[in-house]
C-alpha cells in the first residue's frame, strides 16, 4: 500500500458507495493515470474499463486540459455567479448550444449530475407555476433509473438500494423499466418493447396530467446495468408527453458528450426532450461540473413573469455554478473531442465492441449482455440468495489481472474510454470471460 496512506487516514475517510470494511481490509489504491490506464500503488497499469465513473472518456491527464486549468487559475480563480459573470461561462454556454438538439439553447450550470437532475425538476415544477398551473408538481421517473444521490435523485430515481435507508422523500411515481427477459442478449436496441412507454398513460389516468410536471428518464440507463431503450420507446414517450402537456427531461449525465457515438443520446435516438441534464464527461472528469440545457420557451416563461427587470427570475443556483476553472476545463474538453475525433471513434468501434462483448454468451452464470455505443452491462446469476457476491468476486479478479470494471448489484458494467483500441477491447473481454468462468 502507498506509504503515504496511514491507518489513521484509512480509518478517517468514510468512503461513498463503498463497502468500507472490505476496502480498508484490502485497499485498492490508484496513484496515477495516463491515457486509458490507471496506475496503482504497486506500479501496475490498470485498464480503465469504466472511464473513471463514466467521466473520463478521452482518457486521463491530457496536457491541454491541465494547461487550460493552470492558465485559468493564474488569471481568475473564482468569480461569483450571482449577479456577476465571467467571460468563459458565456463562451461555454454558446459552445454547448451549438452541440445540443435544436431548441435547447439555454444553459444553467451546476456541479454534478445530482445537482443537474434536481435543477431540471425544480425548473419544471416552477415553470408550470409561473404559467398559472401550480398543481403540476409530480415528477415521473422510472424503475431502475438513477438520477443521483440527492433527495430529489433518490425520489424520482428507481433503484431500491438507493431509497430504502432514507425513508420518505418527495412525491414521485415511476414507469416500469424496459428490461425484458425475452430480449436477453439483444445487440443494441431491443426490437420489442416500445409499448412499455404506454404505461405513462396509466400514470396520467391515475394522477391526471394537470398534476404532472415532468417525466425524467435516462435515454440509456447506466447504473442499473446499461439498459438500452427498445426501438421506438423514447419516441413514444415524447409523443405522450407532448399530447398531455408534460415536460420530458433526459438525464444524459452518463450518455452526454460521446458515449453513444453522438454528442448526446437525444441525437442518437432522434428524440428532442425539453431539457437535457449533463455532467461527468463535460470536463472529462477533471473538475466537477454539470449543465442543464433548456428549451427557450421554458426560459422565456420565467423572463415574462418575473415583473421588474431587477427581479431574480429563478431563485436557484450554487456557489460554484459556472466556476471559471470548470469552464476552462470544459472548453478544453470540447476542443479535444473535436480535434481528436473521439466521438467518431466511438461510432466507428462500437460494432467491434458489440461483437467482442457478445462473444461471452455462454459463460458461466451469465444471464444477459446489453450494449450500446461504448457501454455494456452483464447480468450475473445470484449465488445463495446474494445478488452482489459474484460480480464483486469477478471485479476483484479483474483488478488483480489489471482491469477496472464496475460492479453493482447483480451486474458488471463497462464504459470504455473513447480512445480505446481494438486490441485493448479484446484483452478486456478475454479477461472478463476468464474471470466470469473462474468464480463458483
As for how many domains the chain has, the answer is: 2
Neighbour count for residue 198 (Cβ, 10 Å): 13
Rounded to a whole number of angstroms, the distance between the first and last alpha carbons of the chain is 29
Instruction: From 339, 361, 384, give the residue that closes a domain.
Output: 339
Please compute the mean of the pLDDT values over residues 68-87 and round it to a whole number.
Answer: 98
Q: Look at residue 2 in the predicted model and tell me its pLDDT.
A: 46
CATH number at residue 295: 3.40.640.10
Same-domain pairing of 138 and 241: yes
**pLDDT tens digit string along 211-260?**
999 999 999 999 999 999 999 999 999 999 999 999 999 999 999 999 99
Say how far apart CA 1 and CA 26 lie, in whole Å: 9
Q: Look at residue 169 in the predicted model and tell me its pLDDT.
A: 86
Residue 2 lies in a domain: no
Say how far apart CA 134 and CA 210 lie, in whole Å: 9
Same-domain pairing of 23 and 104: no
Say how far apart CA 142 and CA 182 lie, in whole Å: 20
As a whole number, the mean pLDDT across the chain is 97
Instruction: From 309, 339, 369, give the residue that closes a domain.
Output: 339
Could you tell me the pTM of the whole model? Answer: 0.97
Please compute the mean of the pLDDT values over residues 367-396 and round it to a whole number.
Answer: 97
**pLDDT tens digit string along 304-362?**
999 999 999 999 999 999 999 999 999 999 999 999 999 999 999 999 999 999 999 99
Same-domain pairing of 294 and 190: yes
Among the listed residues 344, 312, 204, 215, the one whose alpha carbon sits nearest the alpha carbon of residue 273: 215
Residue 363 lies in a domain: yes
Same-domain pairing of 335 and 350: no
Say how far apart CA 247 and CA 138 lie, in whole Å: 11
Same-domain pairing of 186 and 247: yes
Among the listed residues 259, 222, 415, 423, the one whose alpha carbon sits nearest the alpha carbon of residue 337: 259
Beta-bridge partners for 221: 227
Same-domain pairing of 329 and 414: no
Q: Are 17 and 43 in contact (CB under 8 A)?
A: no
Identify the domain containing residue 415 by its residue range: 7-61+341-438
* pLDDT > 70 fraction of the chain, expressed in percent and rounded: 99
Same-domain pairing of 254 and 371: no
Please compute the mean of the pLDDT values over residues 117-140 and round it to a whole number.
Answer: 98
Query: Between 334 and 161, whose confidence is greater?
Result: 334
* pLDDT > 90 fraction of the chain, expressed in percent and rounded: 96
CATH number at residue 52: 3.90.1150.10
Please compute the mean of the pLDDT values over residues 43-60 and round it to a whole number.
Answer: 98
Beta-bridge partners for 380: 366
Instruction: From 295, 311, 339, give the residue that closes a domain.
Output: 339
Same-domain pairing of 48 and 166: no
Please compute the mean of the pLDDT values over residues 351-375 and round it to a whole number.
Answer: 98
**pLDDT tens digit string along 103-128?**
999 999 999 999 999 999 999 999 99
Asked if pLDDT for residue 1 goes beyond 50, the answer is no
Same-domain pairing of 432 and 298: no
Asked if pLDDT for residue 168 goes beyond 50, the answer is yes
- Give CA torsion, residues 190, 152, 301, 272, to 10 deg: -10
Say how far apart CA 393 and CA 24 lie, in whole Å: 16
Residue 300 lies in a domain: yes
Same-domain pairing of 49 and 92: no
Same-domain pairing of 258 and 348: no
Same-domain pairing of 325 and 346: no
Confidence of residue 3 (pLDDT cuts 50, 70, 90): low
Lowest mean pLDDT among 18-27, 129-138, 167-176, 332-341: 167-176
Amino acid at each position: 500500500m502507498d506509504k503515504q496512506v496511514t491507518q489513521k487516514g484509512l480509518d478517517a475517510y468514510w468512503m461513498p458507495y463503498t463497502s468500507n470494511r472490505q476496502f480498508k481490509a484490502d485497499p485498492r489504491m490508484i496513484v496515477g493515470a495516463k491515457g486509458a490506464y490507471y496506475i496503482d500503488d504497486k506500479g501496475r497499469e490498470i485498464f480503465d474499463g469504466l472511464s473513471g465513473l463514466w467521466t473520463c472518456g478521452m482518457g486521463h491527464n491530457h496536457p491541454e486540459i491541465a494547461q487550460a486549468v493552470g492558465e485559468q487559475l493564474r488569471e481568475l480563480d473564482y468569480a461569483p455567479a450571482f449577479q456577476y459573470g465571467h467571460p468563459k461561462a458565456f463562451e461555454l454556454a454558446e459552445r454547448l448550444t451549438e452541440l445540443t438538439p435544436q431548441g435547447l439553447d439555454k444553459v444553467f450550470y451546476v456541479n454534478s449530475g445530482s445537482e443537474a437532475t434536481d435543477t431540471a425538476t425544480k425548473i419544471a415544477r416552477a415553470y408550470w407555476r409561473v404559467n398559472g398551473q401550480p398543481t403540476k408538481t409530480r415528477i415521473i421517473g422510472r424503475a431502475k433509473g438513477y438520477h443521483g444521490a440527492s433527495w430529489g435523485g433518490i425520489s424520482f430515481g428507481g433503484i431500491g438500494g438507493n431509497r430504502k435507508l432514507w425513508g420518505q422523500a418527495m412525491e414521485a411515481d415511476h414507469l416500469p423499466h424496459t428490461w425484458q427477459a425475452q430480449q436477453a442478449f439483444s445487440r443494441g436496441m431491443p426490437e420489442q418493447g416500445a409499448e412499455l412507454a404506454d404505461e405513462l398513460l396509466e400514470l396520467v389516468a391515475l394522477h391526471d396530467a394537470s398534476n404532472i410536471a415532468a417525466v425524467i428518464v435516462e435515454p440509456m440507463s447506466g447504473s442499473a446495468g446499461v439498459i438500452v431503450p427498445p426501438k421506438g420507446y423514447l419516441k413514444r414517450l415524447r409523443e405522450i408527453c407532448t399530447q398531455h402537456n408534460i415536460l420530458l427531461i433526459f438525464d444524459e449525465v452518463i450518455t452526454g458528450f460521446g458515449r453513444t457515438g453522438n454528442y448526446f443520446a437525444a441525437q442518437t435516438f432522434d428524440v428532442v426532450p425539453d431539457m437535457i441534464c449533463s455532467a461527468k464527461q463535460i470536463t472529462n472528469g477533471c473538475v466537477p461540473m454539470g449543465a442543464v440545457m433548456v428549451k427557450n420557451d421554458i426560459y422565456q416563461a420565467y423572463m415574462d413573469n418575473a415583473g421588474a427587470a431587477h427581479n431574480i427570475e429563478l431563485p436557484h443556483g450554487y456557489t460554484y455554478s459556472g466556476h471559471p476553472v470548470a469552464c476552462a476545463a470544459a472548453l478544453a474538453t470540447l476542443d479535444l473531442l473535436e480535434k481528436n475525433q473521439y466521438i467518431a471513434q466511438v461510432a466507428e468501434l462500437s460494432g467491434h465492441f458489440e461483437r467482442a462483448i457478445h462473444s461471452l454468451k455462454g459463460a458461466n452464470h451469465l444471464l444477459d449482455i446489453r450494449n450500446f455505443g461504448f457501454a455494456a452491462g452483464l447480468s450475473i446469476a445470484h449465488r445463495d440468495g446474494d445478488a452482489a457476491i459474484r460480480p464483486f468476486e469477478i471485479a476483484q479478479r479483474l483488478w488483480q489481472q489489471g482491469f477496472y470494471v464496475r460492479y453493482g448489484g447483480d451486474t458488471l458494467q463497462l464504459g470504455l474510454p473513447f480512445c480505446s483500441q481494438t486490441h485493448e477491447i479484446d484483452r478486456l473481454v478475454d479477461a472478463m470471460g476468464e474471470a466470469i468462468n473462474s468464480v463458483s
